[in-house]
Structure 1
């Protein structure tokens, strides 16, 4: 185990930690002990750390009282005893989120559906709105002379000097009303005849025309009425000069089936259906960028037909095109000689615009709906033209730290000439700039590591970065000049850091943890190697009474030569040819072979229990995991259960060859994506895995959601091959070992239907060595300690029965093992 880190701890916080229990000893680990409500015996780590605008106080969520939920606490950065914030005091606090002006003198924010303006120097708060209807999306507008916000789907501005509120848009649901003037030729003739014959009608017509002229004159003082039809509008933005308003138009699919999840255990006593989601391949929301030219009183919809690569079809379709070719003689008929239809343009989703400091430049981030392209383009609202600045293409899908599935981490440098953004162009997520005039691009960071978080200092002369530069499983906080250059490492201790910089940027509030020490709150000077001062003590003496392991973070070579990282738990006293368990983390794109406190803390404690019982445990960051760059992230493209499963098989081989584990005594388990891999392992690798526990598992990817699955496997009707080879239900006949399946019945993520369909398949295949445990009140992530306890009792029993009591390879049952 590593040497303990000796850090200064406030006396008040230490006493608070001691008071949680009467020095109760945890003793030998049991499932019943470690699956209790963590707030009642482990402790609750501080979270959601925020500085006050004057930098004199740190607020955070915490639960040292063992209540049902966290409360808000406050503490001075110098230390002391954390104080719980009353509800009355909370009502007077500014919102932690909001938007600052360029000089950081004011902040505008939403709280409880109203808009407020905070003067950062005087701490004076002005209430901008006070209405029953909710206002959202506050910001600064008109060269920061006004505050903008959205109410009822329309854009408003408020002038702090005059107090005047102006409605800037008038979006209306439904179609444009039909004109009262006749359009039919016959109707026009009849009206003209009536007016020619009857004086009284001519008078009324003149009155009507006069009213219309008056209304038109008044209308010029109000925004143009824009009729949306069946579309909705969001993301309303006013250009800094006030000449243009941009907005995103969304069109929901007309009719798509939504899966229902029955909830059986309800307060009413009746079964209640929960509406959840569509399935992958369902029609998706369509997006357009609208632009209202205020001076011309005209609206436009931005076009993308000239966007480079928009007409390129995904590379995987070539495989199907080759299959479709046949030696049938060419069709020379007249119909066949007709001109081929134009290449279909892919749908896109626009984000922005983002305006420069001087208000003269704007850019958009545009992503293809299939998520294989991301473009950054300069926007000229006067001509509705876009100009390409950067294109990131991936035959698999675009993602990664600072990139995500939307606009990503982007912004302007203060020269109003260069845009900064993150990209995986090099294979790892790094910072780049691009000049909007010359198009010149520059990489600010580089190397075989990921920039996981990045922000500019308030004067925008310095970057603050969190990166895994020293080791894939280790995070550190760095600073770097805005123009790029060497990274200066601020933090030093191995582990994980979540850093919040104080307003004056002299002090850091740090959430820090190690693999066997949960997150605590610290402060430190914003200087390289500065000492961290601990502010909270959250764990209980009962939790601290057990020597929790710091698992080794190891690496090994996969079958294809890739480096695979894993956490290794070894028993204190090993046994020759002992049993082992491989844990498969969920989410797919997630990292767990790292040196900080895991979100899988229950599984971490269970692995300690297994190690105490003589098991070796391997927790693998398989292909598809985060923290290792683009190639690892996309290693599962079009074949989940391919390289990611092979990494588990190679891990089992490593255990047998290097850690004296019997190859006949290896089990596997995991939840969600980990449950999926467990099923694939038990169905397709029965000679490697003797027993497996698949928890809340995807059994057929054609039944999962669109947002996740479409990126990796494309649409099922376009890439049926990818779905066929990636779905466990198609391999169920291969089951030989002992399989435990556990699933919540009100799982709104991976529906209970998934495990029901697989169960029916196993029944029809006449398989007997499987068991299904259902949890009537649990969603995807279990909540109730009783459910966690029941589930892990069953998992432990599965392994004890099928791994511990199995003779090692080459030994007869009942041999002494000496």
Structure 2
């Protein structure tokens, strides 16, 4: 009896282990945060280079603190500030130090405007005196310390103000700011979205001058969106949005002299875009990047406040377009580091202060993917690149003379770095498809691992309960190019069976989806679909990034042509595989990916039987000037490029099952795109499914929104790709 009991107990235990290892992923777990990886809060490296500060939140006391840690020991040294010690502030959401780290700007009551812009109530906290001062009674934008910490510049209602922190004086630098007409010191919608910055003012090294960009958007067409809300009548959001071929803001550059109280206008010739301004190491010289409308001609100007003259220091042109970066770095003598694709790959260059090329620092048939900075003491540059394969990222250092290159990272996958101010240490973030985010402290001079900080071992252990498939990397030769590809097959894959395939892609210019990194939320969804019996495939076609300028820019003036041809051709190759059900191949994507999936089911209606398009562009005529014209020029110049690749014009080709999804408050890709697509399908007498999400933006999230959205997409896939799976499972159940 005892032996029987023990044997039964062992069998029960074994069954429990097997069951635990075969647990299925659910959508509720994915969107409930069950698979969230542990990370590190954004840290600020202190000026001594030996310590860093982090914003911490205590759930028990509901307080926020800025805590200082030692790089070497990773131990907390002190609490710089706790909200518990502040009168009138229950918590703050972010902080910024003055350059000498004697003061802090604290952000409270922060509310988003668009993707990057924020309004908030901001305070100055003096660390020595422990005095707390509200900067302005109203919600303001982009408060920024002067270099000596004695003043703060900010924007309120499109005008620039400077507050003196010593005598509490206030200077109003501009007075013509007006909503939907004149903006001073912060960017308009299209600059914020496509040039990726909001603060359009900058202090010089001594705080004697403030440079700023002025946007006159009077003639920019207005776009409006209904906001349904919960009131009896909807409200309306009205803002300036320049669509392809329409008028942009007229931009001008100005410098305010604080001592003289005078503003100077800077002559930049025929500047159409001013995507970057930055003071050099010389207090009297301002650098300005200027581009033409086609964005294939970039000039770097130096403006001298002494003689009020501007001069072109560097001039680059390209047959297609030039990407704007934040990599410009000035050395003490005002020579500068610059990145460029001019030799066919993105590399690092050194120029003299007169704009003469001193040397190309990095070179080779690979891309620099991130520039981290320059160590003045050792004359070494730190950067990230794809030298170890385009799906991987590694950290390197190299002498400014282009010699002595050293690989600092060791793991094969995706490495990223955050360096201490003096480049003594860096925190490396590593992951690959098998390893969750691993944070380590490393020595910058040779990459030596000093200490592990966060390992995510608990997540890795938890995932062992689930039936997960390997993400397999490979290449597929399509239209004469070896394209990067990953595949997720069902666990227990049987090559003698026929499986349906769901393809995912994004495909936008310079983008990448096939990368050796840890899971995002969609990866868990793909694992869930694989558990149901689907093969999931992702292929980065022509036009995507990190394989050289020619590969990326081949789609110039033809967005949606070569990328679509690649996905269709790849799908046909997949359909020929013995284990793929050629009648059950679907494709999906979001934003640019929705544009692609729409085109694929229409132009590739002989291979794709199903498509899902979330927040898709359906005609580039509806999208903004900066992004669209960078790759397409204007509709007036390139009408066929716009229309030959618009899914709206191929609605009559629809044969398969098509799901169209959009949020009504999408300020980026307007719901107009989906409405026009729907109307084209209706007039072509084509049946389709669609879902509209009230008051949701381009991300379509909030509350249970993502869970409902992914449930809808999963059900759609099951209904239209998975019927064979369902029949096989039903037959198997009947046998059992």
Band the TM-score falls in, shorter-chain normalisation: 0.7 to 0.9
Within 1, Cα distance between the matches of 2:62 and 2:546?
33
Within 1, Cα distance between the matches of 2:252 and 2:695?
41
Within 1, Cα distance between the matches of 2:251 and 2:213?
7
Given that 1:374 and 1:393 are in contact with CA atoms closer than 8 Å, whether structure 2 keeps it comes out as yes
Q: State the shift of 1:87 in Å.
A: 3.6
Q: For the structure 1 residues 363 and 698, does the alpha-carbon distance in structure 2 shift closer, same or farther, using more than 3 Å as the test?
A: closer
Q: For the structure 1 residues 151 and 243, does the alpha-carbon distance in structure 2 shift closer, same or farther, using more than 3 Å as the test?
A: same
The residue aligned with 1:689 is: 608
- Which of 307, 317, 335 is matched with 1:393 structurally? 317
- Which of 280, 301, 304 is matched with 2:265 structurally? 301
TM-score, normalisation: structure 1: 0.71
Higher relative contact order (CA 8 A, sep 6+): 1
Within 1, Cα distance between the matches of 2:105 and 2:321?
35
The residue aligned with 2:328 is: 410
Which secondary structure does the structure 2 equivalent of 1:268 belong to? Answer: coil
Q: For the structure 1 residues 618 and 725, does the alpha-carbon distance in structure 2 shift closer, same or farther, using more than 3 Å as the test?
A: same
Please list the CA deviations of residues 412-464 of structure 1 after superposition, one character each: whole Å capped at 9, or x if unmatched: 11223x12121121222221121133723421111222222221236472222
Given that 2:508 and 2:543 are in contact with CA atoms closer than 8 Å, whether structure 1 keeps it comes out as no
Q: For the structure 1 residues 672 and 238, does the alpha-carbon distance in structure 2 shift closer, same or farther, using more than 3 Å as the test?
A: closer
Within 2, Cα distance between the matches of 1:268 and 1:430?
54
The residue aligned with 1:370 is: 294
Within 1, Cα distance between the matches of 2:587 and 2:555?
19
The residue aligned with 1:579 is: 500
Within 2, Cα distance between the matches of 1:255 and 1:353?
27
Within 1, Cα distance between the matches of 2:430 and 2:60?
22
Within 2, Cα distance between the matches of 1:43 and 1:71?
23
The residue aligned with 2:110 is: none
Q: Report 1:530-679 matches (<5 A).
A: 530=449, 533-535=452-454, 537=456, 539=459, 542-546=462-466, 548-559=468-479, 561-571=480-490, 572-576=492-496, 577-585=498-506, 589-598=510-519, 601-657=520-576, 660-679=579-598
2:88 aligned with 1:88, yes or no? no
Given that 1:50 and 1:96 are in contact with CA atoms closer than 8 Å, whether structure 2 keeps it comes out as no
Q: State the shift of 1:686 in Å.
A: 0.7
The residue aligned with 1:355 is: 280
| Farther-moved stretch of structure 1 (676-685 vs 731-740) | 731-740
2:337 aligned with 1:420, yes or no? yes
The residue aligned with 1:285 is: 249
Given that 1:569 and 1:607 are in contact with CA atoms closer than 8 Å, whether structure 2 keeps it comes out as yes
Greater share of residues in strand:
2
TM-score, normalisation: structure 2: 0.78
Q: State the shift of 1:735 in Å.
A: 0.7
Q: For the structure 1 residues 515 and 615, does the alpha-carbon distance in structure 2 shift closer, same or farther, using more than 3 Å as the test?
A: same
Q: Report 1:747-758 matches (<5 A).
A: 747-758=666-677
The residue aligned with 2:236 is: 273
Which secondary structure does the structure 2 equivalent of 1:742 belong to? Answer: strand
The residue aligned with 1:256 is: 221
| Farther-moved stretch of structure 1 (76-85 vs 771-780) | 76-85
Q: For the structure 1 residues 27 and 438, does the alpha-carbon distance in structure 2 shift closer, same or farther, using more than 3 Å as the test?
A: closer
2:136 aligned with 1:132, yes or no? yes
The residue aligned with 2:694 is: 776
- Which of 32, 45, 49 is matched with 2:27 structurally? 32
Please list the CA deviations of residues 203-256 of structure 1 after superposition, one character each: whole Å capped at 9, or x if unmatched: xxxxxxxxxxxxxxxxxxxxxxxxxx9674565566668886644332122462
Please list the CA deviations of residues 684-707 of structure 1 after superposition, one character each: whole Å capped at 9, or x if unmatched: 111121211222222222222333
Q: State the shift of 1:170 in Å.
A: 5.0
Find the structure with the greater CA-based Rg. Answer: 1
* CA RMSD between the two structures: 4.3
Given that 1:277 and 1:705 are in contact with CA atoms closer than 8 Å, whether structure 2 keeps it comes out as no
Within 2, Cα distance between the matches of 1:653 and 1:68?
56
Within 1, Cα distance between the matches of 2:249 and 2:531?
52
The residue aligned with 2:13 is: none
Within 2, Cα distance between the matches of 1:169 and 1:761?
52
Within 1, Cα distance between the matches of 2:660 and 2:369?
35
Given that 2:21 and 2:467 are in contact with CA atoms closer than 8 Å, whether structure 1 keeps it comes out as no
The residue aligned with 2:111 is: none
Q: Report 1:714-793 matches (<5 A).
A: 714-768=633-687, 770-776=688-694, 778-784=696-702, 786-793=704-711
Within 1, Cα distance between the matches of 2:607 and 2:652?
16
Within 1, Cα distance between the matches of 2:594 and 2:62?
29
Consecutive unaligned residues in structure 1, runs of 5 or more: 1-22, 119-123, 176-228, 306-344, 808-812
Q: For the structure 1 residues 780 and 138, does the alpha-carbon distance in structure 2 shift closer, same or farther, using more than 3 Å as the test?
A: closer
- Which of 692, 700, 722 is matched with 2:619 structurally? 700
Number of residue equivalences: 666
